[in-house]
Chains A and B, each alone.
Chain A
Amino acid sequence: MRFDWNWEFTAEILPRLLAATLNTLIAAGVGYAIAVVLGLVLALAQRTPWTPLTKVVRELVEFIRSTPLVLQIFFVFYVGPQFGIRLSPWTAGMIAIGLHYSAYLSEVYRAGIEAVPRGQWESCRALNLSTRDTYLRIIIPQALPPSVAGMGNYLIGIFKDTPMLSVIGVAELMHTANAIGSEHYRFLEPYTLVGVIFLAISLPAAGFVRVFEGWVRRKLGL
């Protein structure tokens, strides 16, 4: 065994990997956008007074959280066509990863909403605010700051999980590194670079999330 790091080869493949990084960021961004919105829908659906709906959504969230992401990606991409749902790798990947993380985010929101004191709900009632205003103007703004930390963790989590999309051929970073490796029979440089790129993005992002959390608190006067 010997360690022969090839700088020439590194320089040669770096542009290709950086281009793929853009795809990784897009995948994480789009998947996260889906998860943020859908997660809120799942969280609020569990708070409706209609028990059949809350039960179904509760089970759905538990089901998604209890099965592997890679299985869900395969399922949407390969099983979908049997039901006439044919999706491109990108679309299937975004749906699977967005849905997966929406289940986790819904739990973050749920905890945030439950952390709002009961007295706040009673004040809303005493002031006769509509359910919509109660949520949008009073409860969610207060549920947000405690949720930001958890939301940030899952933003980094979804980013780190994008390599799973390579299994259905989404041309993100991991997929590209695999391709480079098979073309040149060299895996050390591409995989190391993938690790370095992920690290270079994750670490500052984690710091940014902490700063953002403080900013949200100040902004809301909490």
Chain B
Amino acid sequence: MDMSAYPLELPEGDRPMVRFMNVTKSYGTLTVLDDLDLDVAEGEMVTVIGPSGSGKTTVLRMLMTLETINGGVIYVDGKPLTHMERDGRLVPANERYLREMRASIGMCFQHFNLFPHMTALQNCMEGPVQVLRLPKAEARDRAEELLSMVGMIEKKDQHPSRLSGGQQQRVAIARALAMRPKVMLFDEVTSALDPEVIGEVTTVIRKLVAEHNLTMLMVTHQMGFARDISDRVCFFYSGKIEEQGPPDQLFGNPQRERTRQFLSAVKDAG
């Protein structure tokens, strides 16, 4: 693959927080993402919607380095994420480089994935203590502050098995934020929740959008929520961005036939 088309670093003045450049992802013969170009500006909240199998979750998983890519380069904060420089050329990143770059990205999962053998507080202290090497007292202060922010401070000494789905997800958000990422990824964080607790999680995310200058990428099926809080919405269809734009435009006046079909199907269902 010719890597010379990809800069070693994005130039000043053209440095979005996240840039997908010609990114391709396939499993065997199945192409999940096809030549994807996507920029996310600093502080921007971008929501990804689309039918299942359209590759939207893969976008987040590649950015979290949970998936490798088959072509193209992903940049975070101007620096390549999937690749690293060696002798003036970009080569696939090694684990050490990935660890360094991963520090600026945090992720929340559909099934929360809290550590079941640790309390809510311990979950939120694990990364800061083990990875960031924060003193315990400082990590505890930070964790408690974030657990207060998500309304979980009273439950800080509970293990995940004692918490509801909504409560676990709020702890998971606090845990990710404790690492002070620049980019936060939300992968269908309300999909596994009972309807009556979805609100407690979306309220936390709304608060993040309102009060913090975090760059966020979210995959969701909550169209109303996406419309409310996103700066931009991308509609994915079979591995490509079929249409994107401000939420009012995309939801209110979709330009493409596939977008209209998808939105009306979602409306009928919900």
Contact = CB atoms under 8 A, between A and B. Distances in A.
B117 A141 contact: yes
Contact of B159 (A117, A127, A133, A221): A221
Contacts of A220: 117
B113 interface: yes
Interface stretch (A15-23, A72-80, A118-126, A165-173): A118-126
Contact of A221 (B64, B99, B116, B130): B116
A127 B117 contact: no
B167 to A, nearest CB: 15
Interface in B44-71: 64-66
B116 A142 contact: yes
B249 interface: no
B14 to A, nearest CB: 27
Interface string B21-59: 000000000000000000000000000000000000000
Given A221-B161, A222-B161, A127 B66 contact: no
| Dominant secondary structure at the A interface | helix
Contact of B127 (A129, A142, A222): A129
B117 A129 contact: no
A222 B117 contact: yes
Contact of A122 (B66, B114, B119): B66
A138 interface: yes
A119 B127 contact: no
B169 to A, nearest CB: 13
A65 interface: no
B107 A126 contact: yes
A35 B66 CA distance: 34
A210 interface: no
Given A220-B117, A222-B161, A128 B109 contact: no
Interface residues of A, number: 19
Interface in A121-173: 122-123, 125-130, 133, 137-138, 141-142
Nearest to B160: A221
Interface in A186-222: 220-222
Contacts of A133: 130-131
Interface string B98-139: 010011011101010111111100000011001100000000
Contacts of B113: 117, 119-120, 122-123
B61 to A, nearest CB: 8
Contact of B131 (A123, A127, A142, A221): A127
Given A119-B111, A122-B109, A137-B126, A128 B102 contact: yes
A129 B126 contact: yes
B56 to A, nearest CB: 17
Nearest to B175: A127
A138 to B, nearest CB: 6
Nearest to A49: B95
Given A127-B131, A129-B130, A133-B130, A120 B115 contact: yes
7 contacts: A125-B102, A126-B106, A126-B176, A127-B127, A128-B99, A129-B127, A221-B116
Give the 9 A-B residue pairs with the shortest CB-CB distance, closest first: A119-B113, A127-B127, A221-B159, A123-B113, A220-B117, A126-B107, A128-B102, A128-B131, A133-B130
Interface of B: 64-66, 99, 102-103, 105-107, 109, 111, 113-119, 126-127, 130-131, 159, 161, 175-176, 179
Interface of A: 117, 119-120, 122-123, 125-130, 133, 137-138, 141-142, 220-222
